[in-house]
Structure 1
């Protein structure tokens, strides 16, 4: 099913119920109010893209960034140093801090760590990825200025399933995973695990690497994931769900000078318990408690130009603890109207030995409501959210959205609303070290206003979806005299996305292109780390019942960081999948033309040798051949 057809299927969904199925898109026997939020918002005027499990399997050894960059129009995602590394992100021309990330509905961003660390999450444990575009501050709160990306881990899909996978590539890399799901009477159980390892590839050109750097200049990684879900269906109106997940990784953190050994050892723990109860035919209640701990230990050993070995960091700690409660209540009326009510209490604390701070436990408490009437064949949504943040005051935000079916060929959707973003730990507390930026603990939240206007046109086997977007951010947190400040100016963003899809009996083709202009007030320069142009194309051929062939390409436009240009590259990937009974074989040639391209910019510190203090570009993934095998039983 094409992305555009998927959007159409979602737009036609009825109101969320305890048992919600979307034809062939996804089959889930029971769905909580929280699990239905993205589908609800898509029906109420917001653009939604869902990346499905079968699409994820095509990517073999790829990580989340590879998958998102190819399959989500308008989203820029590029790992700074290959797979399983920190990344640049931009959704509809946004900064990376304007995107809210969730895993199984649990917030990954919080006030102290707004930067996203997805480098310890293996795609093989993911069931689907939901990308909601446009401001989503009413439902999701802080950081959802440009959109929300919800990563849903694997779960029970209505029938017993067991699968084992293993893969490798020519870098070399190794990847293996296991998934098991069963129903035991009224109890649904899912268990998943994955492990990935790689020697990596050389990030910088030989001429950019100083002799004081490590002899091993290939960035490697080790990533392990383990998790499970248990859902107990007490009766037709009540069910209880428990989720637990553990992620562990060892990620090399190289520099092209002075560092002979450096890595981040990370451990992440997520646990949730939620209870859903249909109180009567009109009212449904969900209560949820969650806990999220993220711990990273940084090690770094340097060598200076005199050959002296210096231990810079020995298990230096940085991380956070985030926990809270959430309540959702849905009221379904009898005359084409409904309400969604919500309350959240979030508490978190952080500590960083590198930036030398320990925060107090901070609290965000929120109340929100969304009224959903249907008027003249139009599904509308009007929402308000009030948030109170310790140390940062309060915030009141609003939104209006709607989806209208004009006729059998075309339907329109629109949304407009406000949002906010809290300062991050780096912006609040960072210290000036090696040319770094000093934080300001008195920073105010940023505030935003955004609008999206789209259409979906379906004619025979063709679908066309144009989408216009606009956004401005005030109280902008920027840099002034090497210090983070709330600047007087604002960032204004506008642009367009266009999606086109068609299919035949044995083939399917999708293509997308987007343009985003994002500039600070008074400047005619695009803001850093945001390319203006993105494009992708995906052709699937199925010559036989058992064989599929894939041709995938995507373009990333030029962007700038540290006054240095990167991006402006095309990548072509070729793939094939063969199914024989319970066996599945995948072959993929990544970067088939072996293009040499610049994916990020590295900025040396003041301790770099004098001839190596200018920013340099980091190379992207070289051509590699991948083989993956999966057995399902």
Structure 2
């Protein structure tokens, strides 16, 4: 608590010192999603413009606007990413507000960094646990996905890329809405937001509530009699506040706070009468942006992320007939798994001369965590990381080079570097690319887990190290843009689970002896067909294999394709979205002597439509037909033990079946 108080007090004191800063033009225009009036959004500052700058200097950036997510009818962020982001594989375990598998340019889930408003949401207990199981979509202004190694700016875990969720932004005019919805998995949804400003002060408030009984997450034939909880539900309540003080265009003090209270059930096909996680999560930040001159600008941000979760599991007692007696065994009763993450980010930019810019920054992170379920004792870590970059703007050619040095308190110090560039040619053709290094430290689970049910941790693990390159050739002309890109990554010391050791039949976590290579390509097309229709198509092929084998690493699809069609009446009165997600072959390695299991090779189609009842665009009705053709597909393969003899067999975790969502929205 002392550290947290000092952190935010220091940032506030800096705000008072710099509060007399001179003006700089910053406001940009944005359009309200109902098109009722023009809403002026406050100008983006240095941190917010970083992804676009990285794109201009060679990175590939995908942006999905909150308007598109809202009109497509999504309730949670995971499913929005699954259906709407080109090249990003997201597989929710059992529908909305659940764990997900993620892959970006051949990465594993642990190699993609998630941030919300630039605050790291990564879980150092489990880097494979994303924040998507409790992240609603109603609060989103836009989503930015940077592809390829982004360790220079974002540090460890940003190997395959980063996903940054931007919450509702500040506006000068008042704007807001309330919405209520229902879905046929006995789901109830409500959300709303209000934002505006007066004088030098601006605010945003948003809240949402999502609850569902859910659907059956396994086929009936895969259940053991001991499993009586046969629907997987959730309850997620989220609220947030944001404030900005901007006495001049050159200076802004902003603060944000977000709280989530949730209960998300954990699906099992054996033993369980009830299994669930509860969540009490808080994220706060305080930031100063100051641009004292046309040549120099900087920001300093303090953040705090407190993640308190408990796990409960109650199993059925079986009688002589093999059926539940009604008595329960308590396996876990609100056993905690928690972490606290706090830190400071500092970044400054100085233009040495026309076309020459120097960037320097420093990240500090202090992290504490423990888990009573997987028997991970209290762990603590501090990381200091200075970084610097030089950018050259030579007109049609833009080049950048940088280096970052990471110094963790417990583990190996690592230095990563990155060189990137983009060359614009006549006719809208461009070439771009980047090359560099990345690393990922082992998380607490990989090091220390000792639960007898599962794979065992290995305290002798070392950090993964990788060399990566990513490049593309594209065209931007009028209402059309497209790109073909390729990527290559070689990883040494890959952390994986070895099921071949007789002493560890449920797996032992090791650094693999062989290097692992990931390579592939992606083709992306975006087209505005006319005043009514838009189209996005994406196809990705990935090969991720250990040296000496031709077996794809688990949970990474070889092929992925997405097709997104949007339609909107030019006056904004009605419209719709069709999104298709096709996933090729995927492999899971399953414990208990089962081994490697193939699944995947499925297509899921969503259809959504919306209509404003009145000409003033105040009352909107919406419908979404999720999994329109009721495709029965496996999101992953899990191990189930038979009640009778304890022997194991594989079972499919099912994706969401055909579900109807309906909504009513009132604009404020």
With structure 1 as the length reference, what TM-score do the two structures score?
0.93
Tell me: CA distance 1:508–1:389, structure 2 relative to 1, closer, same or farther (3 Å). Answer: same
Structure 1 position 614 matched with structure 2 position 639: no
| 1:566 maps onto 2:605 in alignment | no
Q: Tell me the equivalent position of 1:495.
A: 520
- Tell me, yes or no, if structure 1 residue 509 matches structure 2 residue 535: yes
Q: Give the Cα separation in 2 of the matches to 1:456 and 1:617.
A: 39
- Structure 2 counterpart of 1:369, from 365, 385, 388: 388
CA distance 1:155–1:458, shift in 2 (3 Å): closer
* Counterpart in the other structure of 1:625: 660
State the match for 1:522 in structure 2: 548
RMSD: 1.9
1:437 is matched with: 455
CA apart distance, 1:459: 4.6
Q: Could you list the runs of 5+ residues in structure 1 that have no partner in the other structure?
A: 1-16
Q: Which of 184, 194, 212 is 1:198 aligned to?
A: 212
Aligned to 2:402: 383
Matches within 5 A, 1:204-603: 204-214=218-228, 216-306=229-319, 307=325, 309-375=328-394, 377-434=396-453, 436-459=454-477, 461-480=479-498, 481=501, 482-502=507-527, 503-542=529-568, 545=571, 546-561=573-588, 562=590, 563-579=596-612, 580=614, 581=616, 582-603=618-639
Q: Distance in 1 between matches of 2:25 and 2:58?
A: 22
CA distance in 2, matches of 1:424, 1:219: 28
SS in 2 for 1:359: strand
Contact 2:524 2:538 in 1 (8 A): yes
Q: How far apart are 1:611 and its partner, in Å?
A: 6.7
Confirm or deny: 8 A CA contact 2:204 2:243 kept in the other structure.
yes
Contact 1:61 / 1:169 at 8 angstroms: preserved in 2?
Answer: no
Q: After TM superposition, which residue ranges in structure 1, 4 or more long, deviate above 6 angstroms? A: 22-27
- Shift in alpha-carbon separation, 1:325–1:423, aligned structure 2, 3 A: same
Give the drift of 1:627.
1.0
Q: Output the CA distance in 2 between the equivalents of 1:604 and 1:425.
A: 26
Q: 1:353 deviation in Å?
A: 0.3
User: How far did residue 376 of structure 1 move?
Assistant: 5.5
Q: 1:617 to 1:463 in 2, by over 3 A?
A: same
Question: Residue 45 of structure 1: SS of its match in structure 2?
Answer: coil
What secondary structure, in the 3-state scheme, does the structure 2 residue paired with 1:66 have? helix
| Structure 1 residues 404 and 27: CA distance shift in structure 2, 3 A | farther
SS at 2:138's partner residue? Answer: helix
Match status 1:90 vs 2:97 = no
Deviations 1:121-174 (A, max 9, x none): 111111111100000000100000010101111122342112111111112211
Distance 1:236 1:544 in 2: 34
Contact 2:30 2:41 in 1 (8 A): no
SS of match in other structure, 2:52: helix
* Distance in structure 2 (CA, Å) of the matches to 1:162 and 1:172: 27
SS at match of 1:119: helix
**What whole-Å deviation, never above 9, does each CA across 1:394-435 have from its counterpart, x for those lacking one?**
11110001111111331111111111111111101111412x
Partners in 1 of 2:30 and 2:546 — Cα distance?
44
Shift of residue 362, structure 1, vs aligned partner: 1.0
The 2-side partners of 1:143 and 1:424 are apart by: 10
Whether the 8 Å CA contact 1:112–1:349 is kept in 2: the answer is no
Verify: 1:19 aligned to 2:26, yes or no: yes
Residue 176 of structure 1 aligns to a residue in which SS? strand
Check the 8 A contact 2:60/2:147 in 1, yes or no. Answer: yes
Number of the residue aligned with 1:179: 193
Single out whichever of 557-566 and 544-553 deviates more from structure 2: 544-553
Matches of 2:316 and 2:76 in 1, distance apart? Answer: 32
Question: Which stretch shifts more, 387-396 or 570-579?
Answer: 570-579
Q: Is the 8 A contact 2:463 2:493 kept in 1?
A: yes
User: Equivalent residue for 2:14?
Assistant: none
**What is the distance in 2 between the residues matched to 1:554 and 1:360?**
40
Report how many residues are paired.
614
CA distance in 2, matches of 1:460, 1:108: 37
- Tell me the SS of whatever aligns to 1:526: coil
- Mark the CA change 1:377 to 1:459 in structure 2 (over 3 Å): closer, same or farther: closer
1:536 is displaced (CA, Å) by 1.1
Displacement of 1:87: 0.8
- Taking the aligned partners of 1:191 and 1:24, their CA distance within structure 2 comes to 19
Task: Check the 8 A contact 1:112/1:423 in 2, yes or no.
Answer: no
Distance 2:242 2:380 in 1: 29
SS in 1 for 2:49: helix
The C-alpha deviation readout for 1:588-632, integer Å capped at 9, x for no partner, is 111111121112212236x85437621211111111111112111
What's 1:8 paired with? none
SS at match of 1:123: coil
Describe the superposition over 1:64-114 as per-residue Cα deviations: whole angstroms up to 9, x where unpaired.
222112221211101111110001111112111110111111111153331
Instruction: Report what 1:81 is aligned to.
Output: 94
CA deviations 1:195-221 (Å, max 9, x no partner) are 00111000111111111111x411110
Task: Tell me by how many angstroms 1:455 deviates.
Answer: 1.9
1:367 offset after TM fit, Å? 0.2
Residue 529 of structure 1 aligns to a residue whose secondary structure is coil
Among 85, 92, 96, the alignment partner of 1:72 is: 85
Q: CA, structure 1 residues 507+141, in 2 after alignment: closer, same or farther (shift >3 Å)?
A: same
- C-alpha contact 2:196 2:202 (8 A) present in aligned 1: yes
1:43 paired to 2:56: yes
Does the CA contact (< 8 Å) of 2:471 and 2:485 recur in 1? Answer: yes
Q: Secondary structure at the match of 2:131?
A: coil
Q: Which residue of 2 aligns with 1:13?
A: none
Which residue, 168, 172, 183 being the options, matches 1:169?
183
> Which residue pairs with 1:3 in the alignment?
none
Secondary structure of 2:422's aligned partner: strand
1:391 shift after superposition: 1.6
What SS class does the counterpart of residue 223 from structure 1 fall into? strand
